[in-house]
Structure 1
Amino acid sequence: MIYKLEDTKTVNYLFEKWDEGVIWGCLEKVMGDIYVDNLNNPTSAMAILGDFCYFAGKLNEELVMFKPDKFKNSIIMVPEDTEWGTLIEKCFGNKAEKTTRYAMKKEKGVFNVEHLKSIAEGLSKEYEIKIIDEKLYNACFKEQWSRDFVAQYDTYEMYSEKGMGVAILKDGELISAASSYSGFKDGIEVEIATRKDYRHKGLASICGAKLILECIKKGWYPSWDARIMWSVKMAEKLGYHFSHEYVAYNVNYND
């Protein structure tokens, strides 16, 4: 049997190797859920938030195969080590696409505020930059490219409490934003994107710089994880430092 864990402190030790904002949010019960093999003495655990699923502890095939009701048709599974990765491949075969992702170092106080201000203030007058309010929160759901800015927050009230974001508008239309994919105590996991027809204009960097500045004001840490090298380069431009590559699996349950 697999169980949803309420007393998440009992599995802190299982996730000691991890340095991920999504996992922090689950362990701190800010957002997401933890599932385990045993409620009284858990030895295997799975942290789930949105599109991401992280494994830790003793290998457990039942845990890997377990599909909570909130799972979508696909999920990004991140193994703790190669043994967990091998188990994911065994369980899902060609339904699991092996990919490489890129972790940035978690370094509080590393950002150069004046440098970020110079980037954030470089927006052309034809655009407008705004904090994501309730109107923009709702607007993010209207198109697929912008949903992840707010999708993990069930209501605007939840978003305003546990997240934050900035958006660039052109003639009132949302065209780029940097927002919290998820939240943890005193921080957020950054989600950043630009609408296809406005890419390569530096808008994402401006949004990113502005979001980091807003986080600094609140005493929050903006954790950054990258799917592609372009995201790594942008993060480095904003003051982050590269940490390491890691393996993830895009698992499609419908294949």
Structure 2
Amino acid sequence: MIKVRKAEMEKIAPLFSGIQDSMVIACLQGYMGDAFVRSWESPEAALIISGEYSFFGGRADSKDGIYLAEHFFDADPGDESVAIFDEDEPEWERILMDQAHNHPVPVTRFGIVQKDYDFDRDLLRQYSQTVPDGFLLKAFDEDIYCQAMKEAWSREFCETFASADDFLSRGFGFAVLDNGLLVSGASTMTVYDGGAELQVATRESHRCRGLAMACAAATVLKCVEMGIRPCWDAANLISRSMALKLGYEYKGEYMTVHMHR
């Protein structure tokens, strides 16, 4: 498997034309994530890995596509990944599900329309001020970054960045603290020219208190103020509901494949 250099991303960009995802854009622009091909001579398929997500572009039934599916974990250092592919190339689902050694599981996600929104800033401010008494809403700093990277539930906030300095210089987010402990947050998990992909999560012991909503609203509001498109994709119905309350539009369900080493 060949890793694509940043200067060569243009060659594989057409293979991902059907995937409107900010993490794909960020990789193709050379900001974050890694891309791979089987062969550099006229590749018919390519793979992008960004944190816990992977994107398969091009022809699934080509030699390149089958090879990338079969040898996925040769490229991904992690133990699991959410595989996303072009909805107009449904053959990817079959190819990925055929890889029994990757322990594939089909999982439905809920797509949010990717566009420039005219968010209601007053509404976002109202949501960001709904943190219950006893909790503190605070912008991400080095301490919050370090806390996030120590636990599985919060690692996606920052894991695509090289370091705390990298995150704090290129990304941002807001967290809710309970006596100094990170219990909920929202961050720009991926950044690219003019946009970012948001990650929202809450510690299991602190869910159903509106903490994530406050963090998400504060992060979206900052994106709006900075002229950045805050992209959102929903892994579950709760995330979809939050997105609609914030002013996003629902696109519909789509299928992914979860793979485990």
TM-score by length of 1: 0.93
Quick one: distance in 1 between partners of 2:183 and 2:97?
38
Alignment root-mean-square deviation, CA: 1.6
- Structure 2 residue matching 1:145: 3-state secondary structure: coil
Deviation per residue, 1:126-169 (Å, 9 max, x gap): 22111101111111123322222112222111112332110011
1:61 aligned partner? 66
Q: Tell me the amino acid that sits aligned with residue 154 of structure 1.
A: A
Within 5 Å, which residues of 2 pair with 1:165-180?
165-180=173-188
Within 5 Å, which residues of 2 pair with 1:108-187?
108-187=116-195
4+ residue runs of structure 1 moved beyond 4 angstroms?
none
Q: Tell me the amino acid that sits aligned with residue 162 of structure 1.
A: R
- Structure 2 residue matching 1:141: 3-state secondary structure: helix
Cα drift, residue 107 of structure 1 = 2.1
Quick one: distance in 2 between partners of 1:141 and 1:83?
35
Quick one: distance in 1 between partners of 2:183 and 2:68?
39
Quick one: distance in 1 between partners of 2:248 and 2:223?
14
Indicate which of 213, 230, 242 corresponds to 2:238. 230
- Structure 1 residue matching 2:98: 3-state secondary structure: helix
Are 1:76 and 2:82 counterparts?
A: yes
Is contact 1:61-1:91 (8 Å) kept? no
- Structure 1 residue matching 2:99: 3-state secondary structure: helix
Q: Tell me the amino acid that sits aligned with residue 211 of structure 1.
A: T
Q: Tell me the amino acid that sits aligned with residue 243 of structure 1.
A: K
Indicate which of 225, 229, 232 corresponds to 1:221. 229
Deviation per residue, 1:36-74 (Å, 9 max, x gap): 233242221111111111111122211112234542122
2:109 aligned partner? 101
Quick one: distance in 1 between partners of 2:129 and 2:99?
49
Is contact 2:102-2:260 (8 Å) kept? no
More moved, 193-202 vs 117-126: 117-126
| Structure 2: 5+ residue stretches without partners | none
Deviation per residue, 1:170-221 (Å, 9 max, x gap): 2222111111222222222111111222211111111100000111122211
Q: Tell me the amino acid that sits aligned with residue 67 of structure 2.
A: E
Indicate which of 209, 222, 240 corresponds to 1:201. 209
1:18 aligned partner? 19
- Structure 2 residue matching 1:123: 3-state secondary structure: coil
Quick one: distance in 2 between partners of 1:205 and 1:191?
12
Cα drift, residue 244 of structure 1 = 2.0
- Quote the sequence identity (%): 27
Quick one: distance in 2 between partners of 1:18 and 1:94?
23
